[in-house]
Amino acid sequence: MNVKILGTGRYLPKTLLHSHELEARFGFEPGSIMRLNGVETRHVANQRAGETTSQMCTWAAQEALANADLAGEDLDLIIFASAGQEQALPDTAPFVQAKLGLGDSGITCFSVNSSCLSFLTALDIVSSFIQCGRYQQILIVCAEISYASLNPNDKKLYTLFGDAAAAAVVGVTPDCESSKIHRAHFSTFGEAAHMAEILGGGTRQHPNCPNIRFEDNTFRMDGRKLLRYSLLKASTIFEQIWPGLSTGATDIDWVIPHQPSRQGMLALARYFPVEKTIRTLQHYGNCVSVSLPLSLDQAIRSKQLQRGDRVLLFGTGAGLTLGGMVLTY
């Protein structure tokens, strides 16, 4: 598919929370959070100061549009691709459209959700849309605000996540340029759906249920079981993404993974050299659906990723889905 990432952007909330602050607050041993989760700092959204899901998306989108040298009016589709919507109805994409000053533009909006892989799913959809000529210039926005969904009694999970937004503008590759989405593959295993979940917040346990418990609205994960399950499937799925990938990434310049946890990053290092891998976990934490586009933006921002480089985007997401995409940036 002759599809090009025209520009990316991000928004990091102003409040930076160091792990040593969390360690002091909870009476943990200094350095223990970094050893446990690999996270030193994370940003935390202050919604009262305007750092809402749709507003953070908007700031990230403005940066992505500027980097793509495009105006909002040049877009014909806006996709919000994240696990957490701003409100139950409608989905978040129209709110981003309105905050971009495009509320009467008619630009098509919808949302996509495959938890941590939402950005990759959106990019896969966009790739087919562009190939078919259905849409030409598309904005994908992701934002997550996780803290309200975390249980302070669960030390491991409470100290793992960070808030952020990221965006990408995607379009047709101009003639004579090499940008291309080569392949994408996603495998979902619903039998593992309950290994990482928030039980409440939907029709199963509506927020107005009288007997709903605090814990039902917070994230729980059996990390060890999830990692073991993922590792059993990984080699087969790497081969489906890109033949030869399970035995090395010799024809891949950069590996940009979701940043699930210290253990997840260590597992990935069995497959791919650390010097080829973009890592944002230490500074931003696990940002759910934002980790992938944020790490992509980081690779571009740091000038590590250059036009013509071949990139593997890969991740696991609650569902459980393992999936990835190989593209030439």
Q: For residue 27, state whether it binds its own copies (rule: CB under 8 A).
A: no
Question: Please, what is the minimum distance in Å from the beta carbon of residue 72 to its own copies?
Answer: 11
Q: For residue 128, state whether it binds its own copies (rule: CB under 8 A).
A: yes
What single DSSP character describes residue 88?
S
For its own copies, which is the closer residue by CB, 192 or 256?
192
Residue 303 tokens read as: 């000038």
Question: Please, what is the minimum distance in Å from the beta carbon of residue 126 to its own copies?
Answer: 9
Taking the C-alpha atoms of residue 2 and residue 59, their distance in angstroms, rounded to an integer, is 27
Q: Are 260 and 315 in contact (CB under 8 A)?
A: yes
For its own copies, which is the closer residue by CB, 100 or 249?
100
Question: Please, what is the minimum distance in Å from the beta carbon of residue 203 to its own copies?
Answer: 4
For tokens 């109805």, name the residue.
Answer: 89
Q: Are 44 and 147 in contact (CB under 8 A)?
A: yes
Taking the C-alpha atoms of residue 286 and residue 87, their distance in angstroms, rounded to an integer, is 22
Residue 137 tokens read as: 């210039």
Residues 179-238 interacting with its own copies (rule: CB under 8 A): 184, 186-193, 196-209, 212, 214, 217-219, 233, 237
Residues 234-273 interacting with its own copies (rule: CB under 8 A): 237
Question: Please, what is the minimum distance in Å from the beta carbon of residue 305 to its own copies?
Answer: 25
Q: Give the chain's length.
A: 329
If 0-12 CB within 10 Å is exposed, 13-18 middle and 19+ buried, where does residue 246 land?
Answer: middle
> Given candidates 32, 108, 136, 246, which one binds its own copies under the rule CB under 8 A?
108
For its own copies, which is the closer residue by CB, 19 or 52?
52
> Given candidates 13, 162, 285, 323, which one binds its own copies under the rule CB under 8 A?
323
Taking the C-alpha atoms of residue 75 and residue 70, their distance in angstroms, rounded to an integer, is 8
Q: For residue 83, state whether it binds its own copies (rule: CB under 8 A).
A: yes
From residue 244, alpha-carbon distances to 59, 240, 314, 321 in Å are 39, 9, 15, 21
> Given candidates 320, 325, 326, 327, which one binds its own copies under the rule CB under 8 A?
320
Q: For residue 72, state whether it binds its own copies (rule: CB under 8 A).
A: no
How many C-alpha atoms does 278 have within 13 Å on its Cβ side? 28
For its own copies, which is the closer residue by CB, 59 or 254?
59
For its own copies, which is the closer residue by CB, 78 or 255?
78
Q: For residue 58, state whether it binds its own copies (rule: CB under 8 A).
A: no
Question: Please, what is the minimum distance in Å from the beta carbon of residue 256 to its own copies?
Answer: 20
Taking the C-alpha atoms of residue 2 and residue 126, their distance in angstroms, rounded to an integer, is 11
Q: For residue 167, state whether it binds its own copies (rule: CB under 8 A).
A: no
For residue 249, give the 3-state DSSP assignment.
coil
Asked whether the CA dihedral 296, 186, 182, 235 is positive or negative, the reply is positive
Q: For residue 115, state whether it binds its own copies (rule: CB under 8 A).
A: yes
Q: For residue 152, state whether it binds its own copies (rule: CB under 8 A).
A: no
Interaction pattern, residues 31-50, with its own copies; x per rule: CB under 8 A: ----------------x---
Binding residues for its own copies, how many (CB under 8 A)? 86
